[in-house]
Every structure is written in C-alpha cells, then in structure tokens.
C-alpha cells in the first residue's frame, strides 16, 4: 500500500476504484453475481455516500437520515462496498462471503438482513417506487409534525435506478404520482448505461426517458460522463436545490467500466469477469492492492463519513430534544413512527354490530378502519381510485394534495402496483399504511405485496369485492384463484371475515400485526351479522355453531360470505338428524399458528365427514376437508349476473352443501 498521502482528487478516484475492486473480488470469489452495474455506477455511489447524503454509519437507523435506495438491486456489491467503506457494521469477512449461506451479503440487498439497506430490491421497478413511498412519508411527516424552527423531519431520498427499473410499468405509475404530489426531496440517479441483458437498450428501449419524466412533472438533468465526479456532484446539488419537483438525473455510464474486453457489453451484467479479465480490469483501474483489502488513505478518507454523520445526527438530536419538550404529544407519536414496535391500541374501540342484521363486510370495514385510525395516528392510506367502493376514507381526514401532504388519505389513482410499492415505502418509514382495491386486482400489486411479506412490513390490504358475489361486473372482476394464491405467500396473513363482527376483529389483528402484511378480503354484498366471540378471529378458526348434543357427526367449514350458507345448511342437516358443527375459518395462517390442542378442539381428527365451502379455488382446501371430505368451491371463472344469481348458478346453495355432506357421510 502506498504510504505517500494522496491528493484529494486522487483519493476520490482511488476510493471509487476501491469500490470497483471489491466488486470484482466479491463476484470472482462467489463465481456468481453482477459486476457490471457497480463498475459503471461507482462514481454515483461515491457522490451519494461521501458527499450528498446525511447518514451516520454508527447509527444506521437514525430517524432523520437520508434514505438510499438501490433500485438496481442486482448491483448489490456497490451498496455493500459503500457500506463497508463508510464504516457500517459490514466487515470484510462478509464481503468475502458474498452470496454465501448465512452471509450478510446476499445476491440482492435485503432489508432487515443487512445494516443500511433501507428496502429489499432486485425485482426491477420496485426500489424506485418504494422510494416514492419513502419520500411521501417524509413529506407527510414533515407537513404534519414539523413546527416553526423545529424541522424534526427533514431529509432526502436518493435512488440509483437502471434502464430496467425505468422500463417497468410500476416505476411509471409511481413517478407519475411523485410528480403529481411534487415530492421535491426525491432524487433519482438514472444509471444510463445503454445496455440491457438482451443487448443495447436500442433493441427495445428508445423512448425519450427525460421527456417522459418532464411529462410527469419532474425536474430533469443529464450528466454526459458517469466518471465525472464533479459533474455528478453539481447535478445532485441542482436536484437538491429544486424542492418543488422530484428530480431525475440521467448519468451516462459504461457498464463494466474498467474491464478491457467486457466493458460496455451485456456480458458483464450478470457474470463475474473471470480471473484474467478481473486482473486486467484492476490493472487498468490502477488497483495495485491485494484482493479484499482497502488502501489506508482510502479507508481514512472513507471513514470521514462517520464524523460527518455523527455531527449531523447529534445536531438533529438536539433539535428533537427541544421538540420533545415543546410538543410532547407530537413527539410521542413521532417516536412511535421512528421506532416501530407494538402499537398502543389501548384506546381502540372497535365497532360492534347487532347480530341479526345484514351488513357488507366492506362496510363494516369502513367503521373498523375509522376506529383504528382514531386510535393509531400512524395509520394512513387509501385506494386505487375505488375509495367509494372499498370504503376506505377516514372521516374528518383530508387527502394528501400537492402543496399539503399532511392528510392521512392517499388518492393513489388507478395505479395498484405503485400503490403496493408506495405502501412498502410508507411502512419502511415507520408509518402504518393500508391500501385498497378489488380482490381480483390484487394481481396488479402482487410483486410489491410479496416484498412486503419478505421484508415483514405491516401493510394492510383492503381487498373488497371478494368473490363472484359481486355480481354484474362479471368474470374480469370476480376473483377465483386469489384467496388461495395469497394464502400460499409466506409470512402473509389472509383474513376473510364472515360478517361485520369478524371484520372488526380482523382489523384489530391487522392493526396489531406490525411485523408482516395482512390481507382483508371483504364482500361487496350484505351478509348476516353473527354473534362472534371475542378474540375468535385472532385464532384463525373457531366453532361458530356447535352440533346439537355437542357431538358433531359432520363439520362444515366456511369462510367469508359462505359461512352464512354453512349455517343454513346446518339447519337443514340437523333437521335431517345429522349433528352438524359449523367452523368459521377466517385465516388459514392464524389457525395453523394455534397449538395442536386448540386445532383438534375445532377440527377433531375423528370427525372425518366434512364439507368446506368457499367461493374460490378448491385447491388447498383438502388441508381441512381430509380424505373423506368434500370441497365446494369454484374451479372455473365466474359470470356476469346479479350476485345472488351467480352464487346460486355456480353451486353455492343449501342443497349443494347438504348433498356434499351426504356424500362425505356415506364414505364413513
């Protein structure tokens, strides 16, 4: 290692090349990974972590830190190298174990796994769209909580995005929304390297990206040379100075920069350079230090980030201390946002509904949502242009509008996918978001929902119109496979309440569940209100109606609107002398989480005559029907007609349940 002190410029270049060298070393060691992006984008990463961003490596969750989102998640080594160099708790041993079992350096950055990773990225388009949610959270919290002279929420969100990110529709939706809301503290650096996996971007991506972003209402700039650190700096500063609009800076880079034979080609995107090319690349970059080491001057330079970060953080802590004294209630609310953790729902008074009436569960959800919103200041959200159908407005609250983002209602527009990604950003920022659309359109936001589950974020999805019972809109709007598809997602809780009271309880479960997402599947149509024991929904399944004599010969298991049908069928079966129990099973996941004794008490193994009833795919219901049971469901698409007609025509009748019950009984 050189012992002569380097000039400022030299150390900048050397630091950038140290990032590149670590990328080369880690991908070579793994024999796997994506070196191209970090080699090209290292100067951008440098400018952000070393110059633009306020961040404290020693306190990576300091609330007022700037957020960095690497939307181009495949270039994870860029972020790992930056985190390591600037002093985050990510030792060199972890970089050596890139992409290995148990390491802190997975192939794509994972939030909650690696320090300093603000959101999990990799699926293209998600990072930038989640960043829109983070910037929205910042603007919302600032508008709601800052006080004169006390800007306790005041930071930026920086993104590096790739061609792929900007080709994805979700980023277009989110960027349009960001432009509409004027998220001036969102700054996106576009790694404009003109290369995608299948070749140059000219093979498919020839639109004028900057013009498109101008059309969204963004401030746009171009940097001609991605190695010109000063030009990147200037552009970032200009972007920071523009506070009324989000900023996009297209930076022309060379993918795989430094690799003499591979730079500028698609080959360098997704495979290590190979030993020889790696050697040559290092030589061409002037990297004369051993693999997985960092020259002292570079390290010394890099670690200045810690001092700056500590200073910035301490200044903010002073401000927040003053805020806490002057605005204790607001400070308490903010602390909850900053720290997350279990919400204080002691003040929550859920609505109770009188059994005997009829209420659509989407309507009951509105009342419960409003009760939760009163008890939980961090709750906010809205619908993808279906607020009046999803019943998601909060009484007395205003929507976020350009110029005033303090409202707790978000009008997402017809942008389900961006809504899902934005919700992730809101949740990652400590807020408690809910989002809403029809259940069938959960498909549009599934990639974002999956990330919420993977990151264990407490997003609540209000999915109404949950079956063919919605009627005339027909098969394009009638979910069939969706309930079971969602149940197959790990770490997601799906709740399909049977009535208004189960709905209220379901909202409590969702509100309390801050370590993972929750789906509420709700009816459009009215369903009878039941007498639901306290805490029943939280157990996932329970005995709603016991067999006469308390010894069931048959069990009917239903969810949602089909529970009422099970109750009617029970009457008929009891009338024919069959002691019949009805089990309401609002959540597979919560029921599976109960102890074996409870599950046995609800669904005794010995009672093998069973019928499950749900207006959705039967696949998966064998879990509760068992070998001798029957599954009544829907393995075809729906049809357009009034909801009760569709239900009847497609087999959701008392007669059908009774007939199925007899078939099952006959197998005993």
Among positions 214-273, residues that touch a copy of itself (CB under 8 A) are 214-217, 266, 270
Cβ of residue 84: shortest distance to a copy of itself, in angstroms?
Answer: 17
Which of 10, 261, 293, 389 binds a copy of itself (CB under 8 A)? It is: 389
Nearest to 580, CA basis, from 625, 548, 614, 621: 548
CA distances from 87 to 161, 301, 303, 635 (A): 24, 11, 6, 55
The radius of gyration computed from the CA coordinates of the chain, to the nearest angstrom, equals 28
The 429-448 contact track toward a copy of itself, x by CB under 8 A, reads: -----------xx-xx-xx-
Counting runs of H as helices and runs of E as strands, what totals does the chain give? 24, 20
**645 close to 629: Cβ distance less than 8 angstroms:** no
* Minimum CB distance to a copy of itself smaller for 444 or for 652: 444
Handedness of CA 18, 262, 201, 71 (dihedral sign): negative
Enumerate residues 616-655 that contact a copy of itself by CB under 8 A: 617, 619-620, 622-623, 626-627, 634-637, 639-642, 645-646, 649
Distance, CA of 548 to chain centre: 46
Q: What's the DSSP call for residue 150?
A: B
Give the span between the Cα atoms of 100 and 13, in whole angstroms: 30
Which run of H or of E encompasses 323? Answer: helix 296-326
Nearest to 558, CA basis, from 516, 499, 500, 475: 499
Which of 3, 4, 8, 101 binds a copy of itself (CB under 8 A)? It is: 101
- With CB under 8 A, what is the number of residues at the site for a copy of itself? 115
* Minimum CB distance to a copy of itself smaller for 29 or for 150: 29
Q: How crowded is the C-beta side of 318, counted as CA atoms within 13 Å?
A: 6
Enumerate residues 29-88 that contact a copy of itself by CB under 8 A: 30, 32-33, 73-74
Cβ of residue 491: shortest distance to a copy of itself, in angstroms?
Answer: 7
130 binds a copy of itself (CB under 8 A): no
* Minimum CB distance to a copy of itself smaller for 534 or for 627: 627
Q: Which of 416, 502, 562, 630 is catalytic?
A: 416
* Minimum CB distance to a copy of itself smaller for 45 or for 620: 620
593 binds a copy of itself (CB under 8 A): no
Cβ of residue 390: shortest distance to a copy of itself, in angstroms?
Answer: 10
Burial of 406 (0-12, 13-18, 19+ CB in 10 A): middle
Nearest to 272, CA basis, from 42, 32, 436: 32
List phi, psi (to 5°) of 559.
Answer: -135, 160
Which of 7, 100, 243, 601 binds a copy of itself (CB under 8 A)? It is: 100
The 482-501 contact track toward a copy of itself, x by CB under 8 A, reads: --xx-xxxxx----------
* Minimum CB distance to a copy of itself smaller for 32 or for 228: 32
Which run of H or of E encompasses 238? Answer: helix 229-241
Enumerate residues 277-336 that contact a copy of itself by CB under 8 A: none
Q: How crowded is the C-beta side of 545, counted as CA atoms within 13 Å?
A: 23
- Written as six digits, the tokens of 526 are 């009215």
* Minimum CB distance to a copy of itself smaller for 14 or for 34: 34
CA distances from 42 to 6, 45, 187, 227, 664 (A): 19, 5, 17, 8, 65
Cβ of residue 305: shortest distance to a copy of itself, in angstroms?
Answer: 26
Which of 21, 37, 77, 124 binds a copy of itself (CB under 8 A)? It is: 124
Enumerate residues 175-214 that contact a copy of itself by CB under 8 A: 176-177, 179-180, 196-199, 203-209, 211-212, 214
Which of 25, 110, 330, 562 binds a copy of itself (CB under 8 A)? It is: 110
Distance, CA of 227 to chain centre: 33
Cβ of residue 549: shortest distance to a copy of itself, in angstroms?
Answer: 26
* Minimum CB distance to a copy of itself smaller for 104 or for 223: 104
Residue linked to tokens 């404290």: 56
Cβ of residue 494: shortest distance to a copy of itself, in angstroms?
Answer: 11
Give the span between the Cα atoms of 460 and 509, in whole angstroms: 10
Cβ of residue 74: shortest distance to a copy of itself, in angstroms?
Answer: 8
Give the span between the Cα atoms of 571 and 576, in whole angstroms: 9
Is residue 416 annotated as part of the catalytic site, yes or no? yes
Cβ of residue 30: shortest distance to a copy of itself, in angstroms?
Answer: 6
Enumerate residues 9-28 that contact a copy of itself by CB under 8 A: none
Q: Which residues contact 571 (CB under 8 A, 6 or more apart)?
A: none
Of 63-71, 319-327, 466-474, 573-581, which segment contacts a copy of itself by CB under 8 A?
Answer: 466-474
403 binds a copy of itself (CB under 8 A): no
423 binds a copy of itself (CB under 8 A): no
Cβ of residue 89: shortest distance to a copy of itself, in angstroms?
Answer: 19
Q: What is the signed CA dihedral for 446, 448, 452, 453, rounded to 10 degrees?
A: 30
The residues assigned a catalytic role are 416
């Amino acid at each position: 290692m050189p012992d002569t002190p380097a000039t400022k410029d030299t150390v900048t270049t050397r630091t950038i090349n140290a990032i590149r060298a670590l990328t080369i070393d880690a991908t070579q060691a793994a024999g796997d990974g994506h070196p191209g992006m970090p080699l090209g984008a290292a100067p951008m990463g440098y400018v952000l972590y070393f110059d633009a961003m306020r961040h404290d490596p020693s306190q990576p969750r300091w609330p007022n830190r700037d957020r960095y989102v690497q939307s181009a998640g495949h270039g994870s080594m860029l972020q790992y190298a930056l985190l390591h160099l600037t002093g985050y708790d990510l030792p060199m041993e972890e970089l050596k174990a890139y992409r290995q079992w148990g390491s802190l350096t997975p192939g794509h950055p994972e939030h909650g796994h690696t320090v300093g990773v603000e959101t999990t990225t990799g699926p293209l388009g998600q990072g930038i769209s989640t960043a829109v949610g983070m910037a929205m959270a910042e603007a919302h919290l600032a508008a709601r909580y800052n006080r004169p002279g006390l800007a306790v929420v005041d930071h930026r969100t920086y993104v590096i995005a790739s061609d792929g990110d900007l080709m994805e529709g979700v980023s277009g939706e989110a960027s349009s929304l960001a432009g509409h809301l004027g998220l001036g503290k969102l700054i996106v650096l576009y790694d404009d390297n003109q290369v995608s996996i299948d070749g140059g971007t000219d093979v498919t991506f020839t639109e004028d990206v900057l013009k498109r972003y101008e059309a969204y209402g963004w401030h746009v700039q171009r940097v001609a040379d991605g190695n010109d650190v000063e030009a990147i700096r200037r552009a970032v500063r200009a972007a920071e100075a523009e506070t009324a609009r989000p900023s996009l800076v297209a930076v022309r880079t060379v993918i795989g920069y430094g690799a003499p034979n591979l730079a500028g080609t698609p080959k360098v995107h997704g495979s290590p350079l190979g030993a020889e090319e790696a050697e040559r690349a290092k030589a061409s970059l002037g990297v004369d230090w051993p693999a997985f080491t960092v020259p002292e001057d570079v390290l010394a330079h890099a670690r200045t980030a810690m001092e700056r970060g500590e200073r910035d953080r301490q200044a903010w802590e002073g401000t927040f201390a003053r805020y806490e004294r002057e605005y204790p209630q607001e400070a308490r609310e903010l602390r909850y946002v900053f720290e997350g953790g279990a919400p204080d729902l002691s003040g929550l008074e859920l609505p109770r509904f009188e059994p005997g009436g009829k209420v659509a569960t989407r309507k009951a959800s509105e009342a419960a949502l409003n009760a939760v919103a009163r008890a939980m200041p961090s709750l906010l959200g809205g619908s993808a242009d279906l607020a009046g159908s999803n019943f998601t407005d909060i009484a007395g609250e205003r929507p976020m509008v350009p110029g005033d983002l303090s409202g707790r209602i978000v009008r997402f527009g017809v942008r389900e996918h961006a809504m899902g990604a934005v919700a992730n950003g809101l949740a990652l920022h400590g807020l408690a978001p809910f989002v809403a659309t029809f259940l069938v359109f959960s498909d549009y936001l599934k990639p974002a929902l999956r990330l919420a589950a993977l990151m264990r974020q407490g997003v609540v999805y209000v999915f109404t119109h949950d079956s063919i019972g919605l009627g005339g809109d027909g098969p394009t709007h009638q979910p069939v496979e969706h309930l079971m598809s969602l149940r197959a997602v790990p770490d997601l809780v799906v709740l399909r309440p049977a009535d208004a009271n189960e709905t209220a309880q379901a909202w409590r479960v969702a509100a309390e569940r801050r370590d993972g997402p929750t789906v509420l599947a709700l009816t459009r149509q009215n369903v009878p209100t039941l007498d639901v024991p306290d805490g029943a929904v939280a157990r996932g399944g329970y005995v709603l109606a016991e067999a006469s004599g308390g010894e069931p010969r048959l069990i009917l298991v239903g969810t949602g609107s089909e529970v009422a049908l099970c109750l009617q069928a029970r009457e008929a079966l009891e009338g024919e002398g069959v002691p019949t129990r009805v089990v309401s099973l609002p959540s597979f996941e919560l029921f599976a989480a109960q102890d074996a004794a409870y599950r046995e008490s609800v669904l005794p193994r010995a009672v093998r005559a069973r019928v499950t009833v749900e207006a959705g795919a039967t696949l998966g219901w064998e879990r509760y029907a068992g070998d001798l049971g029957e599954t009544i469901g829907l393995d075809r698409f729906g049809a357009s007609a009034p909801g009760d007609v569709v239900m009847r025509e497609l087999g959701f009748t008392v007669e059908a349940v009774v007939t199925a019950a007899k078939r099952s009984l006959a197998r005993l």
